[in-house]
Structure 1
Amino acid sequence: MKSRFAYATLLLLALSLSVIGCKPDSASHIRQHSLKTQPSAERSESQKPILLILIDSLMDKSLQEAIRQGRAPALAYLIANGRYYPQVVSSFPTMSVTIDSTLLTGTYANQHHVPGLSWFSNKEKRMIYYGYGPKEGLKIDQPQVLLDILQQLNLVQLNPKTKTIHEELAEKGKDTASINGIIWRGKTAHTLQIPRLIEFSTRLPGEVNVNGPKLLSYAAFAQLDPNQKSEKRIWRKYGMNDEFSAQEINYLITNKKLPPLTITYFPENDMEVHMKGTATIEGVEKADKALQTVLDTFGSWDKAIKEARWIVMGDSAQSAVLDDRQAATIDLRSLLTDYQIAKISQPVTPTDQIVISTNERMAYIYALDPSIPLPDIVKRLQREPKLDIIARKEDKKIVVTAGKINRQFTYRPNGPYTDPYGQAWTFSGDPTLLDITINKNRITYGKYPDVLARLYGAMNSHEGRYVIVTVQPGHELITESSPTHIGGAAHGSLHEVDSLVPLLVTGTTTRPQTLRLVDMKDWLLRLTTE
């Protein structure tokens, strides 16, 4: 999402320092290999390793179209031999780093404390970036960004009191693997190797010590296959690509080193969607080709699903961005001209009153000046009709409004109203602001799935006084030098077009307790330990 490909871009810049079943139409869509292999003893389901593969920005519609055209035979094969759930609710903001934190910890941002791709640390008095656009890259401290991604994110900024699945399984004596993941904190000491040209171009040391799962692979910084070279070259984004990820899995399979759980990212579909829009299937096709090589490594596809359990899913969706820049972008600075807004090219100064941190289709707006009431910021933001959610905290309550709307909706956890996920809430005001309907104290969500918990999570994700805003589909939020995706696609918001992803499950008849990414961890723990 901007996410993992932004990370790859970051490396280049740092270097220079400048179910429900959908079935395939016919068997002809499924390419099955029958290589000669030695027979193996049948293992029970609980003994089979789990391969969890996340395809960045995978969406149901493009997946179905790729299958229909015969361009995703591996994914079609897994669906035909398993179960398919087209609408799993992601985290919020719908940006990779927050989503992956939710996946690995089983919590929303109020517990894992990773607010977004970019955010302002009140403790450190600085902006934190885990990725950036080319114009931003010319103004910010790139070595610090790289250090945040490689070390601070997992070891400091991800809440140390919230355990990842790697940590919990290690405590149970189970090994795990992470390949090209963003969040990978575990209990095994590793040393990441900084590529020499990056080391020479920055103040970074040649090595960075981290704690990860037993098997950790992260692009050029750490790899499992000692012979893998071509896919981690600079023009292959230092290994942040689908082929590198697939080759690392293949190494584990070939050498009989698959642990009980392997979490792998195929990152390249995200960039295709950002650039070409939601209708493109080229990234899905590319991911499928990488997946085919993994299935092939078992000797045959039938053998692959007999010997392992397969979970393939997206992390967030994307929504189309208008192709007219002026119509597509909302510059938040234009709504907050009464305040002194901090510049991204310099440290925050005592005279700065506001910091704006955009995450494509959502943003955090921080009030550094204690004399500025948050409702005053909200009033200025309400002048823009395209802002579909504007939220702030008031004591323990969340207060929600929208652009060009005078009504409010206020809520907090616990109370008489129960949502489809068993979460209880108290609220007052107009619930239609969040497209919520109530019938006999039962909540039904509309175009903002699981909105109460996801928004509450972001509003309590880190210290500071801030307002959260999201924008209607078709638009992006920008501030100084923000990256944009004009005529392409973007994500970040609470809207269903950014939030619903497909899930393919082969090799088990079970599923998460609810079809939400936040419930994936508990399900994986059950699959791995029962």
Structure 2
Amino acid sequence: MIGCTFQKDDELKVQDVPNVIQTKTTSTPKVILLVIDSLMDESLKKAIEENKAPALAFFMNHGRYSNQLVSAYPTMSVTIDSSLITGTYPNEHKIPGLVWYNKDQERMINYGNGFFEMMKIGATQFAEDAIYQFNNVDLSPHVETIHEALEKRGRSSASINTIIYRGNYKHELKIPEIIEKTTGLPDHYNTLGPKILSLGALIHQDEKNNHLVHRLGFNDSFGAEELIYLLEKNNLPDFTIIYFPINDHTVHKNGPKTIKGIEKLDKQLQNILNAFPNWDEALNGITWMIIGDSKQSSVNDDKEEALINLSSALSNYSILKLGEKVNKSDELAITANERMAYVYKIKQSISLQDILSKLKADERIAWIAWKENGKVQVVSGKADANTLQFKPGGKFNDIYNQTWSVDGDSSILDLTIDNNNRIQYGNYPDALARLYGAMYSQKGDFIILDAKPGYEFIGESSPQHTGGGAHGSMHKDDSLAPIIVTEMNQRIDHLRMVDLKQWTLNLFDNAKNE
């Protein structure tokens, strides 16, 4: 059995050691993937060192660990989960962020970015986007989820409280009566998911699961009870993914160094391990993968300094209001995803250079990107900055075996290119593929803005996290998450969220050939 030891950040860099996770067992167990929202290396280690997370310590001591798992971009849960379950970036799966502007529908899509935005959009539209449209309309039909791929291989799967879950089985999501009466939603939605689907109060396996009141079951206790139920009923499928959301809320409020959310989460993991005769039995026939979905970085305490108000910066334009469809006077739409943002040109006569000149004046913006002449153009937040241009294909290659054409000032994205045309990534892991993915995630003319550490974008009614934590940006402070894998006979070649789907499929494919 291979144990785990903590490694300093500078001892384990993804570009230097791309083949980080490798274990040595020859059998192929069932796989349980635990996704812990905003789980981070520093706070995880602190919780374990203070004996506040015995379950996570158990998994780490019986597996391999890295703190270099590269998230998707934007580093918002909906986009990350879409990349995790489809193995693609947003240019393929088409979920651009938590908040975005749909050009065809001429309205903003909001999957859950705060109470005030929800009220302006309207509870009915918000609930339909988050409950139904996400999986059944917006997620591209041209990508295959891990549930769909496993079904083709004759493997069963389950999704517990994971918001992206599309599969091949028909399910009925029952809308709680209080929501049905207050929103005008139908009493149910038909949806497609894996063989086993749990989604809070909407659908669950254990009829006695009583953790449905808090956040309508979208909480850690509910998820843990559902998994325990499958274990006790001996109904665990080949692959199970379960999402634990509560740590994210704690970090947003208290900042990245807090361990309160990890302590609470670990108690649920202890409950799961206690469902076995002893904890060691949990490793018998089951491979556990525990990942964070992204980091959060600190947001400065001073609201005036920390919050980048794009509506104010672009106040000379007519900006689309939340909850409204486009009218003739609207010129721009703004969607803030915490530490990144999209600005859309609704009226084509608007000058892109004029928008850029107003935004580049703000030194809190790290860089701005847009599409032009078939390339992604990137400029830093400086008035006299040079430009970086890139597109897929070309003479430069990176550690992920991706090739690129790159011209201009590579320092904008902290790229280093050596004499062998090899690209090394610095502050922005997998920068070219992740930015390209976001840039081609949707229709229309728009720009992407990424904030420097310490700052956060706000739109019309965005939530803000001054004095706490936030994510969304492509910076490594938001992008690198921990991963723990217990014994497995399949090497993870690249530590990226987008690669975990294929790695899991390879695991099952190789088992078939043994």
Give yes or no for TM over 0.5: yes
Q: CA deviation at 1:159?
A: 0.4
The structure 1 residue matched to 2:393, chosen from 393, 414, 421, is 414
For 1:449, what is the secondary structure of its paired residue?
A: coil
For 1:45, the equivalent position in structure 2 comes to 27
For 1:127, the equivalent position in structure 2 comes to 108
* Residues 482-517 of structure 1: per-residue CA shift (max 9 Å, x gap): 110111000000000000000000021434220000
For 1:304, the equivalent position in structure 2 comes to 282
The structure 2 residue matched to 1:517, chosen from 473, 497, 501, is 497
Q: CA deviation at 1:342?
A: 1.1
For 1:213, the equivalent position in structure 2 comes to 194
User: Does residue 1:197 correspond to 2:197, yes or no?
Assistant: no
The structure 2 residue matched to 1:105, chosen from 65, 82, 86, is 86
Where structure 2 has 5 or more consecutive residues not aligned to the other structure, the ranges are: 8-24
The structure 1 residue matched to 2:257, chosen from 249, 254, 279, is 279
In the alignment, is the contact (CA less than 8 A) between 2:297 and 2:470 conserved in 1?
A: yes
The structure 2 residue matched to 1:470, chosen from 450, 455, 470, is 450
Residues 495/462 of structure 1: CA separation in 2 closer, same or farther (3 Å cut)? same
For 1:159, the equivalent position in structure 2 comes to 140
For 1:16, the equivalent position in structure 2 comes to none
For 2:229, what is the secondary structure of its paired residue?
A: helix
Distance 2:391 2:353 in 1: 18
In the alignment, is the contact (CA less than 8 A) between 1:341 and 1:352 conserved in 2?
A: yes
Distance 2:444 2:373 in 1: 13
In the alignment, is the contact (CA less than 8 A) between 2:3 and 2:63 conserved in 1?
A: no
Distance 2:375 2:348 in 1: 19
User: Does residue 1:452 correspond to 2:432, yes or no?
Assistant: yes
Distance 1:163 1:67 in 2: 37
User: Does residue 1:137 correspond to 2:137, yes or no?
Assistant: no
Which amino acid is the alignment partner of residue 506 of structure 1? T
In the alignment, is the contact (CA less than 8 A) between 2:3 and 2:62 conserved in 1?
A: no
For 2:435, what is the secondary structure of its paired residue?
A: helix
In the alignment, is the contact (CA less than 8 A) between 2:107 and 2:323 conserved in 1?
A: no
Q: Bigger shift: 373-382 or 94-103?
A: 373-382
For 2:317, what is the secondary structure of its paired residue?
A: coil
User: Does residue 1:340 correspond to 2:323, yes or no?
Assistant: no
Distance 1:315 1:257 in 2: 27
Q: In angstroms, what is the RMSD of aligned CA positions?
A: 1.4
User: Does residue 1:484 correspond to 2:464, yes or no?
Assistant: yes
For 1:28, the equivalent position in structure 2 comes to none
Which amino acid is the alignment partner of residue 438 of structure 1? I
Q: CA deviation at 1:293?
A: 1.1
In the alignment, is the contact (CA less than 8 A) between 1:306 and 1:507 conserved in 2?
A: no
For 1:88, the equivalent position in structure 2 comes to 69
Q: CA deviation at 1:220?
A: 0.4
Distance 2:509 2:202 in 1: 30
For 1:225, what is the secondary structure of its paired residue?
A: coil
Which amino acid is the alignment partner of residue 433 of structure 1? I
Where structure 1 has 5 or more consecutive residues not aligned to the other structure, the ranges are: 1-18, 25-42
* Residues 97-154 of structure 1: per-residue CA shift (max 9 Å, x gap): 0000000000000000000000000011110000122322331122111111111111
TM-score for both structures, normalised by structure 1: 0.91
For 1:392, the equivalent position in structure 2 comes to 370
For 1:2-401, what aligned pairs fall within 5 Å after superposition? Answer: 21-22=4-5, 45-46=27-28, 48-229=29-210, 231-233=211-213, 236-401=214-379
User: Does residue 1:496 correspond to 2:463, yes or no?
Assistant: no
Residues 228/78 of structure 1: CA separation in 2 closer, same or farther (3 Å cut)? same
User: Does residue 1:528 correspond to 2:508, yes or no?
Assistant: yes
For 2:438, what is the secondary structure of its paired residue?
A: helix
* Residues 448-484 of structure 1: per-residue CA shift (max 9 Å, x gap): 0001000000000010100000111111101111110
Which amino acid is the alignment partner of residue 84 of structure 2? L
Distance 2:184 2:403 in 1: 49
For 2:92, what is the secondary structure of its paired residue?
A: helix
Distance 1:446 1:437 in 2: 8
For 2:16, the equivalent position in structure 1 comes to none
Distance 1:411 1:393 in 2: 10
Q: CA deviation at 1:86?
A: 1.1
In the alignment, is the contact (CA less than 8 A) between 2:35 and 2:244 conserved in 1?
A: yes
* Residues 320-365 of structure 1: per-residue CA shift (max 9 Å, x gap): 0111111110101222123111111422211100000110000000
Q: CA deviation at 1:44?
A: 6.4
Q: CA deviation at 1:54?
A: 0.6
Distance 1:112 1:512 in 2: 22
Which amino acid is the alignment partner of residue 240 of structure 2? T
Distance 1:528 1:60 in 2: 29
For 2:124, what is the secondary structure of its paired residue?
A: helix
Distance 1:97 1:239 in 2: 18
User: Does residue 1:434 correspond to 2:413, yes or no?
Assistant: yes
Residues 137/22 of structure 1: CA separation in 2 closer, same or farther (3 Å cut)? same
Which amino acid is the alignment partner of residue 447 of structure 1? N
In the alignment, is the contact (CA less than 8 A) between 1:130 and 1:145 conserved in 2?
A: yes
Distance 1:407 1:336 in 2: 23
Distance 1:335 1:202 in 2: 34
In the alignment, is the contact (CA less than 8 A) between 1:335 and 1:383 conserved in 2?
A: no
Distance 2:345 2:27 in 1: 53
Percent of matched pairs sharing the same residue: 46
For 1:342, what is the secondary structure of its paired residue?
A: coil
In the alignment, is the contact (CA less than 8 A) between 1:393 and 1:399 conserved in 2?
A: yes
Q: CA deviation at 1:93?
A: 0.2
